[in-house]
Amino acid sequence: MAWNPSPEVAAARDFGKKFVADRVVIFYTTERGGCGYASYGKTKALCADAKRIGDALWQPFAEAAEKE
């Protein structure tokens, strides 16, 4: 699996290590009204699975974040 140095992925990776999680998906909003998500998986297959989960939940999250 390719190393991703972005701070968002680093946060997901750190969360996974701290809580012994195989897959992590973190959704976030910014002070400027933006939003995003980062995913992490312990292996290449788990990483792909975490991304699939994040992609599936992205639309409902973005819609809910817009209503805030």
44 inside domain: yes
- The whole-model pTM stands at 0.85
1 inside domain: no
Structure tokens at 42: 């312990």
Residue 56 is predicted with a pLDDT of: 97
Which residue do the tokens 């699996």 mark? 1
Q: How many domains does the chain divide into?
A: 1
pLDDT tens profile 2-44: 677 789 999 999 999 999 999 999 999 999 988 999 999 999 9
Domain of residue 33, residue span: 7-66
DSSP calls for 16-29: HHHTT-SEEEEEEE
